[in-house]
């Protein structure tokens, strides 16, 4: 990989395995460094990239211009030479093996740095058990990005149709304006939780399901706070996708405007044990309590997004208080060091004895690299 | 200067002056004393004055930026520029002598000195190679522009000024030398003035121009040098966009680290070098990508920071530097340990105070030293990391849950300090995964399949964080552990509403009810009373109370400030304050950490003396090293190491004599880089299409597209056609700015396809010669075509007969002599040439002879090729055959219907009367001739008589008219006289009447 790029300094990075593919490709696109990923399920019975990964790569190809993607015959080696982020209007049929959240998480990271503001229509599974659902991202990732100065009229995530796994058939529209620079943040005080909101949705099942979920979730949460409102969202007809199911997303908002969330959805039709809506509501509420126990200014699913935006900020100190780092975030931190040579200062903050505010918190501090959106054209 | 007049010591004037000195009378006072003088005279003028002052105020506003200047800034780079023999080296030598009391022999390479308690300077001489000028303009903080007053400005000076303008103007100060060559004082003054004004137009009005009057023993006058030094040491510099957003190093020392054995076997092998210098600009990350102008792009192998070879004095309260603190560091010039010769490097360990502690060290020693440093920290880390991360966890039981919870807490407690290690591993040997492999018998390698890693590698890619299974949220303890996270929980002391209310009560509780006259005592008073009693008992409490009081005061002040100050705070003020806060956070965050860890978090910060190791540098860089040429290491941003298409706005420089041709190679200076590329010039049509231009416009901007390094938008660039040799003319061909970056580019070229009609039926026409095949025509079906004379038409269908011919219809009948053309647009691709100017790799003495790709014109000139013009393009005398038109034929039926005016006229026009119709002339007989002559004579006489009589008659009539006029006149006179008489009488009568009426009136009363 040495010095074959037309006398330029840019070097490539090598990785192994299919895990963290999104992180690697997203960071590669943002940093302009090419990546080569080898041994993708090479020891597996079905070696190579899965359909959903191929679909993700195709989406990446749609939003960029001039990317070079090479995959070997068996699909075990992927070479990616990033192009420039182009944006514009993009339509993509996401593979139903993973939910739209899988694709959307990457788009959230890329969208502010495109040439034209992005309008992406994604079709597929909106809610499933594996990935953060679109409702969760809408209620937590978007307000988080607003803190970094990514704001404005066209910043929206709209759930047009819902679709549960395995059939899918949902549709979301994500629009995001472009920014030249990202503002540094000091999110050290999460503040106290003032309200809890949520969405209980039910598709192709009795509308009563949603009410049952709400009932049981409230029973758990009412011990802490009176201000709880859980919307019921029962979609009908064409808007309800292809498979039945139901679920709940809960979001706790603090006084300082940070959002902690938890979610749960029913097991896909024909896979695993069926769940009772009461159990689902109760368990989801407990998950929210767990998330609150972890605490921090950013919830556990969006840790990596917050850290990325801090890295890409101006050359100023950014601080954010997180709960315990998730394994995914730890890998993301390592990747950030590989791609941007940025290391975070990680300080563990122990809560005082007399305070009942959950577990240890982690204060992440870094100096941004002074990233400026080179794709945005100057007229 | 002595006062020209005598100062008053007594009297009112002296007293007034005394008062003024004491600060007695201020403007305010005057306003009070003489209000009328300050009253509004004219509202319009007042408004105008107000507008003007506001305009001036607003002009001073800039978008506030976070102040990122380092606490200990790197030395200021002072570049000394000027034509040859103007006195650059002499000036540097004099300035160094002025600051450090040392003499420097040959000035080569950067020379760093300590000039004051808070400032260091790096001097660099700039020769007249355009490569050097471009490179140094990018790193300069201050430019000393030397001008030979006896000669005036030279082209290099203007070129350098233009280069500076393009790459963000540093401070520019002019220095006039050779002023002693003027014998005549008046001529000197005149020249000074002329040069000054010319300099002002180039830089800005009022730019500083310094005069060095003459030489004393081959040195400038010490007083003048001292003044110049003072100017330099108090000068302020503005931050330049490119410089503040990129790290860079002006290299002052270079070492070749290549293995000598490899060198012996292969003298041309790629070298590993270490480069030293102060880091400037912004933070530099280890393992980043850099560009060395004149050499190329590199990945930095390693970066270390070294002790400062030229440190600022320790903070002490004294005015001047002592002799030991006046340091000088110039390894390339032989001061500071290393002397460069043509074929050897001498290391010198000087005994004098200059630079004792530094840089006699070989790189190897430094390495050892850094290792020693690292070891101590490693040990500490090892000690801390003794505790194993993964304890075997016993199964969960409900009865020992409490124990479990405490255990888990313990575990987390212990794991905490290692979080950093968990994430990043031990940072010192971060990337030694290959070291795991051990050699077996020197032949085979034992491969340890990293099982755990493999498992992680093929895990499901998911961002969800699964909850801790040990937490049971049915238990009351768990629930109570997060109670305070909610607004319903317990609040902190400083945020609790109840506590705050109480506090307020204390502060503002004291008031008097005006209606009842009741006085409410505040709680504070009571507290104070209690405190007084307590203080007798406990001394400690007093401290607490004092603190509380201070706190109270602070709160009060805060509230007061909030109420009264924030009233007219504008958006601008808020923004400024925000930036200020950010700057404080930036400064404070890593202040207490040691450099070793700090460097890992924020990178190497500007002001550090660093050593960069770069591998695989071409051997010519070392072999042909010339310390007179600057080596600059420019750090690149995250995407700037890539290549792509750039769209730019370009304008030919108005001093460059020729216009630039599309596809002629051009050398661009953009960002850190200098490179040759092939631009395509284009201009945007009103429909947004980029139309290719053959040449740049004369006095207008145009677009240009190149294949080159990705550089942020808004970056300026300049273009030269060649960097080789010296030229009398202005060398900067064009300047511009980057507008857009892309991986593809759409520039369209206009293409006209020409065809000829070969059959014409009314408005339909068969055209041949435009296309070659039926398929081609099929692609253009429906396209609009036009003839030269402007008749429009459309392509209908391909014809089979001559391949490529088609049927087209037109709005009018074509002629066989017409030419049909089709206007189309053809996308042009930008040639992918990126050829970095590797001027530093050239042999010593030939560094300004970099050739690069030649233009077509140069190639033809060099090879003696003269292109044969096409015969059609030559100008020849035009010979046009007379055109013959057939007469217009109008059918009879139509003729009948036409009005007379339009009817063809059958009648012949009246020409010569035919012979038979002509009358014969009459020839008279002699008798008849006589009669005619007589008659003629008689009539002549008669005519004469009549004329005479008429004359007489005319005279008489004239006389009569005169007479009549006289009479008329006399009559008029008489009448006038009579009228006058009459009016007089009438007036008298009137008067009489009036008078009598005046007299009569009082008689009536």
Residues of chain A contacting residue B485, judged by C-beta atoms under 8 Å apart: 192-193, 292, 295, 356-358
B579-614: b (≥16 Cβ within 10 Å) or e:
beebbebbeebbeeeeeeebbbbbbbbbbbbbbbbb
Does the pLDDT at position B395 exceed 60? no
Eight-state DSSP code of residue A75: S
Confidence of residue B26 (pLDDT cuts 50, 70, 90): low
Q: Which of B459, B483, B710 sits opposite A19 (nearest CB)?
A: B459
CATH code of B797's domain: 2.40.10.190
Does the pLDDT at position B444 exceed 70? no
Query: Taking CB atoms and an 8 Å limit, are A346 and B423 in contact across chains?
Result: yes
| Nearest residue in chain B measured CA to CA from A256 | B487
Query: In chain B, pLDDT over 90 holds for what percent of residues?
Result: 50
Query: Taking CB atoms and an 8 Å limit, are B287 and A17 in contact across chains?
Result: no
CATH code of B265's domain: 2.40.30
**To the nearest whole angstrom, how far is the Cα of A173 from the nearest Cα of chain B?**
21
Query: Taking CB atoms and an 8 Å limit, are A287 and B467 in contact across chains?
Result: yes
Looking at residue A53, its pLDDT comes to 93
d(CA B109, CA B838): 19
Among A65, A108, A293, most B C-beta atoms within 10 A, so best to mutate, is A293
Query: Taking CB atoms and an 8 Å limit, are A330 and B422 in contact across chains?
Result: yes
**To the nearest whole angstrom, how far is the Cα of B650 from the nearest Cα of chain A?**
14
Does the pLDDT at position B411 exceed 70? no
Residues of chain A contacting residue B292, judged by C-beta atoms under 8 Å apart: none
**To the nearest whole angstrom, how far is the Cα of B476 from the nearest Cα of chain A?**
11
Residue B26 lies inside a defined structural domain of this protein: no
Question: Do B626 and B668 share a domain, yes or no?
Answer: no
Give per-residue pLDDT as tens, B548-594. 888 888 888 887 777 666 566 778 888 888 999 999 999 898 888 88
CATH code of B109's domain: 3.40.50.300
CA distances for B105 relative to A72, B332, B334, B631, angstroms: 63, 12, 9, 21
Confidence of residue B432 (pLDDT cuts 50, 70, 90): very low
Looking at residue B745, its pLDDT comes to 77
Domain end marker among B193, B208, B243: B243
CA-nearest of A343, A23, A318 to A149 is A318
Looking at residue B27, its pLDDT comes to 65
CA distances for B338 relative to B345, B365, B633, B635, angstroms: 7, 16, 20, 26
Question: Do B656 and B735 share a domain, yes or no?
Answer: yes
Question: Do B210 and B267 share a domain, yes or no?
Answer: no
Low pLDDT (below 70) residues in chain A: 1-6, 379
Q: Any idea where the domains of chain A sit in the sequence? A: 1-85, 193-294
Does the pLDDT at position B379 exceed 60? no
Query: Taking CB atoms and an 8 Å limit, are A358 and B481 in contact across chains?
Result: yes
**To the nearest whole angstrom, how far is the Cα of B459 from the nearest Cα of chain A?**
5
Flag the least confident range among B363-367, B534-538, B826-830. B363-367
Flag the least confident range among A361-370, B224-233, B292-301, B445-454. B445-454
CATH number of A193-294: 3.30.360.20
Average pLDDT of every residue of chain B: 83
The answer to whether A219 faces chain B, any CB pair under 8 Å, is: no
Residues of chain B contacting residue A328, judged by C-beta atoms under 8 Å apart: 462-465
Residues of chain A contacting residue B291, judged by C-beta atoms under 8 Å apart: 9
Among A194, A343, A372, most B C-beta atoms within 10 A, so best to mutate, is A343
Whole-complex ipTM: 0.91
Domain end marker among B716, B747, B778: B747
Does the pLDDT at position B795 exceed 50? yes
Does the pLDDT at position B271 exceed 70? yes
Give strand pairing partners of B670: B673, B717
Confidence of residue B428 (pLDDT cuts 50, 70, 90): very low
Confidence of residue B409 (pLDDT cuts 50, 70, 90): low
**To the nearest whole angstrom, how far is the Cα of A205 from the nearest Cα of chain B?**
27
The answer to whether A348 faces chain B, any CB pair under 8 Å, is: yes
**To the nearest whole angstrom, how far is the Cα of A233 from the nearest Cα of chain B?**
24
Greater confidence (B8 vs B713) lies with: B713
Looking at residue B371, its pLDDT comes to 43
| Nearest residue in chain B measured CA to CA from A190 | B485
Residue B606 lies inside a defined structural domain of this protein: yes
| B19, B21, B24, B30 alpha-carbon torsion, rounded to 10° | 90
Flag the least confident range among B135-144, B464-473, B808-817. B464-473
Number of domains in chain B: 4
**To the nearest whole angstrom, how far is the Cα of A34 from the nearest Cα of chain B?**
10
C-alpha angle A332/A333/A337, rounded to 5°?
115
**To the nearest whole angstrom, how far is the Cα of B547 from the nearest Cα of chain A?**
23
Verdict on whether the full-model pTM lies above 0.80: no
Does the pLDDT at position B908 exceed 90? no
Eight-state DSSP code of residue B624: T
Question: Do B715 and B807 share a domain, yes or no?
Answer: no
C-alpha angle B137/B143/B148, rounded to 5°?
115
Confidence of residue B452 (pLDDT cuts 50, 70, 90): low
- By the 8 A CB rule, do B848 and B723 touch? yes
**Burial of B366 (C-beta count, 10 Å sphere; 0-12/13-18/19+):** middle
CA-nearest of B212, B128, B134 to B168 is B134
- By the 8 A CB rule, do B636 and A9 touch? yes
Query: Taking CB atoms and an 8 Å limit, are A5 and B643 in contact across chains?
Result: yes
Greater confidence (B363 vs B91) lies with: B91
Looking at residue A306, its pLDDT comes to 96
| Nearest residue in chain A measured CA to CA from B419 | A346
Question: Do B108 and B203 share a domain, yes or no?
Answer: yes
Q: Which of B282, B465, B589 sits opposite A317 (nearest CB)?
A: B589
Residues of chain A contacting residue B297, judged by C-beta atoms under 8 Å apart: 7-9
Q: Which of A9, A333, A345 sits opposite B601 (nearest CB)?
A: A345
d(CA B413, CA B885): 110
Looking at residue A72, its pLDDT comes to 92
Question: What does the DSSP assignment read for B515-571?
Answer: TT-PEEPPHHHHHHHHHHHHHHH-SHHHHHHHHHHHHHHHHHHHHHHHHHTGGG--H
Query: Taking CB atoms and an 8 Å limit, are A343 and B741 in contact across chains?
Result: no
Helices (H), B2-122: 12-22, 27-33, 43-59, 88-100
Question: What does the DSSP assignment read for B738-755?
Answer: EEEEES---EEEEEEEEE
Does the pLDDT at position B361 exceed 80? no
| Nearest residue in chain B measured CA to CA from A44 | B458
A294 three-class SS:
helix
| Nearest residue in chain B measured CA to CA from A64 | B743
Question: Do B87 and B208 share a domain, yes or no?
Answer: yes
Question: Do B86 and B230 share a domain, yes or no?
Answer: yes
Does the pLDDT at position B367 exceed 50? no
Question: Do B794 and B658 share a domain, yes or no?
Answer: no
Residues of chain B contacting residue A22, judged by C-beta atoms under 8 Å apart: 461
| Nearest residue in chain A measured CA to CA from B427 | A343
Question: What does the DSSP assignment read for A26-56?
Answer: HHHHHHT--EEEE-TTTTSSS-S--HHHHHH
Query: Taking CB atoms and an 8 Å limit, are B484 and A355 in contact across chains?
Result: yes
Greater confidence (B913 vs A212) lies with: A212
The answer to whether A158 faces chain B, any CB pair under 8 Å, is: no
Give per-residue pLDDT as tens, B155-214. 999 999 999 999 988 999 999 999 988 888 999 999 999 999 999 999 988 899 999 988
**To the nearest whole angstrom, how far is the Cα of A78 from the nearest Cα of chain B?**
14
Flag the least confident range among B520-534, B807-821, B855-869, B971-985. B520-534
Question: Do B270 and B197 share a domain, yes or no?
Answer: no
Interface of A with B in 274-293 (CB under 8 A): 286-287, 289-290, 292-293
Query: Taking CB atoms and an 8 Å limit, are A317 and B582 in contact across chains?
Result: yes
What is the number of CB-based contacts under 8 A between chain A and chain B? 257
Highest mean pLDDT out of A72-81, A180-189, B597-606, B964-973:
B964-973
Confidence of residue B21 (pLDDT cuts 50, 70, 90): confident
Among A1, A2, A3, A10, most B C-beta atoms within 10 A, so best to mutate, is A10
Q: Walk across the sheet containing A193-203 and list its strands.
A: A228-235, A193-203, A245-254, A259-265
**To the nearest whole angstrom, how far is the Cα of A204 from the nearest Cα of chain B?**
26
Looking at residue B403, its pLDDT comes to 62
Looking at residue B345, its pLDDT comes to 56
**To the nearest whole angstrom, how far is the Cα of A48 from the nearest Cα of chain B?**
11
Looking at residue B921, its pLDDT comes to 84
B166 three-class SS:
helix
B939 three-class SS:
helix
Give strand pairing partners of B36: none
Query: In chain A, pLDDT over 70 holds for what percent of residues?
Result: 98
Give per-residue pLDDT as tens, B799-849. 998 999 999 999 999 999 999 999 999 999 999 999 999 999 999 989 989
Eight-state DSSP code of residue A111: G
Residues of chain B contacting residue A33, judged by C-beta atoms under 8 Å apart: 638
Among B410, B485, B615, most A C-beta atoms within 10 A, so best to mutate, is B485
Flag the least confident range among B496-505, B829-838, B929-938. B496-505
Highest mean pLDDT out of A39-43, B309-313, B483-487, B765-769:
B765-769
Question: Do B720 and B754 share a domain, yes or no?
Answer: no
Residues of chain A contacting residue B712, judged by C-beta atoms under 8 Å apart: 372, 374
**To the nearest whole angstrom, how far is the Cα of A168 from the nearest Cα of chain B?**
19
Looking at residue A103, its pLDDT comes to 95
| Nearest residue in chain B measured CA to CA from A335 | B424
What is the residue whose two structure tokens read 């209690």? Answer: B530
Query: Taking CB atoms and an 8 Å limit, are A8 and B458 in contact across chains?
Result: no
Looking at residue B436, its pLDDT comes to 39
B500 three-class SS:
helix
Q: Which of A44, A362, A378 sits opposite B419 (nearest CB)?
A: A362
Question: Do B219 and B97 share a domain, yes or no?
Answer: yes
Residues of chain A contacting residue B736, judged by C-beta atoms under 8 Å apart: none
Give per-residue pLDDT as tens, B673-717. 999 999 999 999 999 899 999 999 999 999 999 999 999 999 999
Query: In chain B, pLDDT over 70 holds for what percent of residues?
Result: 81
Domain end marker among B778, B800, B829: B829
| Nearest residue in chain B measured CA to CA from A34 | B642
Please give the residue range of the domain that contains residue B824.
749-829
* Helix, strand, coil in percent for chain B, rounding step 5: 40, 20, 40
Looking at residue B419, its pLDDT comes to 81
Query: Taking CB atoms and an 8 Å limit, are A11 and B641 in contact across chains?
Result: yes
d(CA B857, CA B865): 9
Alpha carbon A77 to its chain centroid, in Å, reads: 25
Read off the tokens for B517.
């006259």
Residue B87 lies inside a defined structural domain of this protein: yes
Confidence of residue B344 (pLDDT cuts 50, 70, 90): low
Highest mean pLDDT out of B350-354, B450-454, B740-744:
B740-744
B33-48: b (≥16 Cβ within 10 Å) or e:
eeeeeeeeeeeeeeee
Looking at residue B504, its pLDDT comes to 64
């Amino acid at each position: 990989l040495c010095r074959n790029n037309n006398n330029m300094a840019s070097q490539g990075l090598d990785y192994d395995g299919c895990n963290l593919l999104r992180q690697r490709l997203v960071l590669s696109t943002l940093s302009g460094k090419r990546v080569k990923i080898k041994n993708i399920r090479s020891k597996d019975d079905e070696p190579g990239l899965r359909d959903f990964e191929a679909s993700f790569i195709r989406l990446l190809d749609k939003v960029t211009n001039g990317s070079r993607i090479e995959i070997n015959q068996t699909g075990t080696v992927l070479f990616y030479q990033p192009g420039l982020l182009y944006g514009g209007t993009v339509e993509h049929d996401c593979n139903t093996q993973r939910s739209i959240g899988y694709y959307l998480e990457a788009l959230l990271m890329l969208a502010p740095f495109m040439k034209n503001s992005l309008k992406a229509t994604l079709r597929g599974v909106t809610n499933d058990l594996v990935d953060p659902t679109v409702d969760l991202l809408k209620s937590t990732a978007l307000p988080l990005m607003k803190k970094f100065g990514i704001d404005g009229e066209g910043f929206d995530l709209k759930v047009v149709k819902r679709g549960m796994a395995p059939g899918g058939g949902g549709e979301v529209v994500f629009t995001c304006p472009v920014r030249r620079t990202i503002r540094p943040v000091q999110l050290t005080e999460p503040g106290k939780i003032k309200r809890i909101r949520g969405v209980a949705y039910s598709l192709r099942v009795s509308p009563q399901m949603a009410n049952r979920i709400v009932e049981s979730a409230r029973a758990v949460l009412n011990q802490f706070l009176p201000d709880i409102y859980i919307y019921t969202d029962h979609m009908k007809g064409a808007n309800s996708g292809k498979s039945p199911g139901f679920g709940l997303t809960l979001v706790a908002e603090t006084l300082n405007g940070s959002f902690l969330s938890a979610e749960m959805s029913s097991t896909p039709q024909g896979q695993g044990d069926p769940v009772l809506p009461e159990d689902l509501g109760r368990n989801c509420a407990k998950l929210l309590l767990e998330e609150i126990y972890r605490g921090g200014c950013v919830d556990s699913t969006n840790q990596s997004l917050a850290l990325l935006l801090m890295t890409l900020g101006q050359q100023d100190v950014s601080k954010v208080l997180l709960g315990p780092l998730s394994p995914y975030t730890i890998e993301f931190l390592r990747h950030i060091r590989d791609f941007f040579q940025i290391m975070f200062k990680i300080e563990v903050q122990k809560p005082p004895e007399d305070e009942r505010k959950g577990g240890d918190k982690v204060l992440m501090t870094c100096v941004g690299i002074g990233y400026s959106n080179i794709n945005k054209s100057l007229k | 200067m002595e006062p020209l007049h005598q100062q008053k010591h007594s009297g009112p004037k002296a007293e007034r002056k005394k008062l003024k000195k004491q600060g007695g009378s201020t403007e305010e006072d005057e306003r009070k004393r003489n209000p009328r003088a300050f009253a509004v005279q004219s509202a319009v003028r007042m408004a105008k004055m107000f507008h003007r002052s506001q305009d001036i105020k607003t002009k001073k506003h800039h978008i506030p930026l976070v102040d990122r200047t380092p606490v200990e800034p790197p030395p200021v780079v002072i570049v000394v520029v000027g034509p040859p023999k103007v006195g650059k080296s002499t000036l540097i030598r004099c300035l160094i002598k002025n600051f450090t009391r040392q003499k420097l022999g040959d000035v080569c390479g950067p020379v760093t000195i300590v000039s004051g308690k808070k400032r260091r300077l790096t001097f660099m001489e700039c020769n007249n190679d355009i490569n050097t000028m471009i490179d140094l303009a990018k790193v300069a903080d201050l430019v000393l522009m030397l001008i030979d007053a006896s000669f005036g400005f030279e082209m290099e000076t203007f070129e350098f000024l233009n280069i500076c303008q393009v790459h963000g103007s540093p401070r520019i100060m002019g220095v006039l030398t050779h002023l002693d060559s003027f014998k005549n004082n008046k001529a000197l003054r005149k020249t000074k003035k002329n040069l000054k004004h010319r300099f002002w137009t180039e830089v800005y009005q009022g730019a500083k121009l310094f005069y060095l009057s003459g030489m004393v023993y081959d040195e400038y006058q010490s007083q003048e040098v001292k003044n110049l030094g003072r100017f330099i040491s108090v000068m302020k510099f503005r931050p330049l966009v490119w410089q503040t957003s990129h790290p860079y190093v002006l290299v002052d020392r270079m070492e070749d680290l290549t293995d000598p054995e490899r060198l012996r076997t292969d003298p041309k092998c790629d070298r590993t070098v270490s480069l030293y210098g102060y880091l400037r600009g912004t933070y530099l990350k280890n393992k980043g990508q850099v560009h060395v102008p004149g050499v190329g792009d590199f990945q930095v192998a390693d970066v270390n920071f070294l002790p400062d070879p030229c440190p600022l004095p320790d903070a002490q309260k004294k005015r001047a530097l002592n002799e030991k603190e006046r340091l000088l560091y110039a390894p390339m010039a032989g001061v500071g340990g290393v002397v460069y010769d043509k074929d050897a490097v001498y290391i010198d360990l000087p005994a004098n105070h200059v630079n004792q502690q530094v840089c006699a060290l070989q790189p190897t020693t430094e390495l050892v030293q850094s290792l020693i440093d690292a070891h101590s920290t490693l040990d500490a880390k090892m000690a801390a990391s003794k505790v194993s991360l993964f304890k075997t966890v016993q199964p969960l039981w409900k009865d020992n849950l409490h124990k479990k919870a405490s255990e888990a807490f313990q575990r987390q407690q212990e794991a905490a300090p290692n979080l950093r290690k968990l994430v990043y591993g031990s940072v010192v040997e971060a990337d030694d995964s290959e070291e795991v492999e051990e050699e077996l018998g020197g032949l085979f390698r034992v491969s340890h399949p990293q099982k755990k890693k493999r498992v992680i590698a093929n895990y499901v890619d998911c961002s969800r964080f699964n909850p801790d299974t040990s937490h049971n949220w049915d238990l009351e303890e768990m629930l109570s552990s997060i109670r305070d996270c909610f607004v319903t929980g317990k609040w902190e002391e400083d945020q609790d509403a109840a506590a705050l209310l109480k506090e307020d009560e204390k502060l503002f509780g004291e008031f008097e009810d005006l209606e009842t006259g009741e006085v409410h005592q505040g709680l504070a008073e009571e507290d104070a009373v209690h405190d007084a009693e307590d203080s007798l008992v406990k001394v400690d409490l007093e401290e607490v109370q004092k603190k509380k009081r201070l706190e109270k005061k602070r709160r009060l002040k805060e509230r007061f400030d909030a109420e009264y100050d924030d009233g007219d705070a504008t958006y601008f003020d808020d923004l400024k304050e925000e930036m200020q806060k950010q700057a404080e956070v930036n400064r404070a965050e890593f202040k207490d950490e040691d450099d070793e860890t700090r460097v890992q978090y924020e990178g190497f910060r500007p002001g550090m003396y660093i050593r960069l190791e770069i591998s695989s540098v071409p051997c010519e860089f070392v072999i042909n090293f010339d310390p007179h040429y600057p080596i600059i290491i420019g750090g690149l941003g995250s995407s700037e190491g890539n290549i792509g298409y750039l769209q730019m706005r370009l304008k030919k420089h108005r001093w460059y004599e020729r216009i630039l041709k599309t596809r002629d190679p051009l050398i661009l200076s953009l960002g850190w880089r200098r490179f040759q590329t092939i631009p395509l010039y284009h201009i945007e049509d009103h429909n947004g299409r980029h139309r290719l231009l053959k040449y740049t416009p004369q006095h207008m901007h145009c677009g240009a597209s190149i294949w080159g390094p990705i550089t942020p938008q808004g970056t300026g660039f300049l273009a030269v056609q060649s960097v080789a040799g010296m030229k009398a003319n202005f060398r900067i061909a064009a300047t511009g700015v980057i507008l857009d970056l892309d991986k593809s580019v759409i520039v369209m070229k206009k293409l006209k396809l020409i065809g000829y009609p070969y059959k014409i039926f009314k408005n339909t026409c068969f055209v041949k010669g435009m296309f070659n095949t039926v398929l081609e025509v099929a692609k253009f079906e429906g396209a609009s075509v036009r003839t030269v004379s402007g008749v429009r038409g459309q392509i209908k269908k391909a014809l089979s007969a001559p391949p490529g011919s088609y049927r087209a219809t037109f709005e009018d009948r074509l002629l066989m002599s017409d030419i049909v053309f089709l206007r189309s647009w053809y996308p042009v691709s930008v040639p992918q040439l990126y050829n970095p100017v590797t001027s530093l790799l050239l042999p010593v003495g030939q560094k300004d002879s970099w050739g690069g790709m030649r233009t077509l014109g140069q190639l033809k000139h060099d090879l003696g090729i003269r292109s044969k013009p096409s015969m059609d393009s030559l100008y020849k005398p035009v010979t046009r055959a007379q055109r013959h038109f057939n007469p217009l034929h109008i059918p009879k039926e139509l003729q009948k219907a036409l009005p007379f005016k339009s009817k063809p006229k059958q009648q012949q026009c009246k020409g010569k009367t035919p012979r038979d119709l002509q009358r014969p002339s009459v020839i008279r007989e002699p008798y008849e001739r006589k009669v005619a002559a007589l008659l003629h004579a008689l009539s002549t006489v008669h005519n004469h008589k009549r004329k005479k009589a008429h004359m007489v008659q005319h005279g008489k009539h004239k006389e009569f008219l005169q007479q009549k006029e006289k009479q008329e006149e006399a009559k008029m006179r008489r009448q006038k006289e009579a009228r006058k008489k009459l009016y007089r009488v009438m007036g008298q009568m009137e008067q009489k009447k009036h008078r009598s009426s005046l007299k009569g009136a009082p008689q009536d009363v």
